[in-house]
Amino acid sequence: MGETMRAIGIKNGSGPADALFVDTIPKPVPKGSEVIVKVKAFGLNRMDLLQREGKYPVPSQAPATMGVEFSGIIESRTNEDAERSFKVGDEVFGLAYGGAYAEYVAVSTHMLLHKPKSLSWEQAAGIPETWITASQAMYLVGEYSRGKSILWHAGASAVSIAGIQLSKADGASAIYVTASSQEKIDFCVKELGATGGFNYRSGDWAQALLQATNGKGVDIIVDPVGQSYFQQDLIAGARDGRIVSLGMMSGTRTDGPVDIGLFVAKRLRFEGSTLRSRDEAYQGRLRDTLQDHALPKFVDGSFKVYIEKVLPFERIVEAHKLMESNQTRGKIICTVD
């Protein structure tokens, strides 16, 4: 029998947060361009909740163990396909197809970055999935250019926190958010620099946004919510606007009538986007974009990683329940000793 390691498993393969437990499984063996990283910390993402419940289409190349973003130290590299700039002992962080909820993860060097000394393990583990998702949605899919306006739904979520910072740094004319409380809106406006925000629980946010923009709407909407916002997104979008769908937190089927005439009247484009199912080369290009444009701003302090809570990975049940509460501002990080 080969080497083993501790990893987070799910009793019976899927279930609620209480089904999570610390298991002992075989240590991964690298292939292709992969190296083995000893994990120091990993970040939680909403896809993890869906995967735990058996509702997420896991890529074929992903292991059963959850987790896609992490920081750690390269323990071994055995393949010539691995990028030569990554050596044993290097401190790194990156994105994996899965397996980060563990003591070790096998990951392609094309999806790794060197960790700056100025970033902690916890901060580094909270960057890859969040910031790459935000930049992909904003630039590649949303076709953002300087001077456009943008709306980030779930404004206090980790992806939107990253997106607000990216938008502000790249000269957005206006940055709006939706959130579940005035406290979260104030955080987005006063601390992150958003232009304004709307509490979706206390009124019609789409009409409020139209009023704030003198009827124009916004050029780009980034939406992880889904069906409950679909009609309002069409109303809030500006002419020639882009609506980027990142998820379906509220479900996939609309409850009420939808006026699809707005697509034509406003020349809107609605496009879905995923990251985890993309091939290694595509993710590598996104990695390079993050490294060239965002990493220097983390080093000089212009960009910040907002962390809600850090827990040892043995308390993974608590971590998942905290994410399910929707009361967080920023990342939930687990450490591995």
Q: For residue range 108-153, what is the model confidence (pLDDT) as tens digits?
A: 999 999 999 999 999 999 999 999 999 999 998 999 999 999 999 9
Task: Give yes or no: residues 165 and 40 share one domain.
Answer: no
Closest alpha carbon to 138 in 167, 158, 110: 167
Per-residue pLDDT of 101-116, as tens digits, reads 999 999 999 999 999 9
* E strands, 100-253, in order: 104-108, 112-114, 149-152, 174-179, 196-199, 218-223, 237-245
Task: Give yes or no: residues 60 and 118 share one domain.
Answer: yes
pLDDT at 186: 97
* Half-sphere CA count of 332, side-chain side, radius 13 A: 25
Single out the residue in 246, 272, 298 at which a domain terminates: 272
Task: Give yes or no: residues 135 and 268 share one domain.
Answer: yes
- Provide the greatest CA pair distance for the chain: 68
pLDDT at 152: 98
- Give 20 or 33, the one with higher predicted confidence: 20
pLDDT at 248: 79
pLDDT at 252: 79
pLDDT at 57: 86
- When divided into structural domains, the chain yields a total of 2
Rounded to an integer, the average pLDDT of 7-35 is 96
Task: Give yes or no: residues 155 and 206 share one domain.
Answer: yes
Domain containing 94: what range?
A: 4-127+276-335
pLDDT at 109: 94
CATH number at residue 195: 3.40.50.720
Task: Give yes or no: residues 8 and 115 share one domain.
Answer: yes
pLDDT at 285: 86
Q: How confident is the model at residue 237 (pLDDT cuts 50, 70, 90)?
A: very high
Single out the residue in 225, 247, 272 at which a domain terminates: 272
Task: Give yes or no: residues 145 and 261 share one domain.
Answer: yes
Residue where the block lists tokens 């009361």? 327
User: Which residues have a Cβ under 8 Å from the Cβ of 323 and sit 6 or more positions away?
Assistant: 44, 46, 48, 49, 332
Q: Is 302 a residue whose pLDDT tops 70?
A: yes
pLDDT at 60: 85
Q: Is 20 a residue whose pLDDT tops 70?
A: yes
Q: Is 2 a residue whose pLDDT tops 80?
A: no
Distances (CA, A) of 99 to 59, 96, 123, 297: 12, 7, 19, 28
Task: Give yes or no: residues 223 and 237 share one domain.
Answer: yes
Task: Give yes or no: residues 170 and 299 share one domain.
Answer: no
Task: Give yes or no: residues 208 and 328 share one domain.
Answer: no
* Pairing of β 112-114 and β 174-179: unpaired
Task: Give yes or no: residues 294 and 315 share one domain.
Answer: yes
- Considering the chain, what is the average pLDDT of its residues? 94
Task: Give yes or no: residues 156 and 289 share one domain.
Answer: no
The torsion of the CA quartet 146, 303, 321, 5, rounded to 10 degrees, works out to 120
**Against a cut of 0.85, is the pTM above it?**
yes
Task: Give yes or no: residues 266 and 286 share one domain.
Answer: no
CATH number at residue 299: 3.90.180.10
Per-residue pLDDT of 60-70, as tens digits, reads 889 999 999 99
Single out the residue in 272, 303, 325 at which a domain terminates: 272
- Rounded CA gap, 312 and 323, in Å? 15
